[in-house]
Amino acid sequence: MEDAIRLNLIGFLCPIPVHETRRVLETCEPGQFLEVICDDPETLHDIPALCDRIDAKLVSVKENSGEFTFVISA
């Protein structure tokens, strides 16, 4: 996604990916996209839960060779 903010959290374990994702989403304009890339399997549960809590929309989740890419609409 070209116009998305990209957040590379490869190598970080929870709670850092969730904390950083929340921090960046708080600065996003409504409808802006955030692409989060991480490799902590816990994020498969934690990022969707965060989106539910803060009313952000989880647009997609993709896995490629142990890396997870979340696209979130603020």
pLDDT tens-place string over residues 29-47? 999 999 999 999 999 999 9
Confidence class of residue 61 from pLDDT cuts 50, 70 and 90?
A: very high
Domain 5-73 bears CATH identifier 1.10.10.10: no
Query: Nearest-CA neighbor of 41 among 6, 13, 72, 9?
Result: 13
The domain locations on the chain are 5-73
3-state secondary structure 32-58: CEEEEEECCCCHHHHHHHHHHHHCCEE
> pTM for the complete prediction?
0.94
Query: Nearest-CA neighbor of 12 among 54, 43, 50, 51?
Result: 43
DSSP state of 62: E
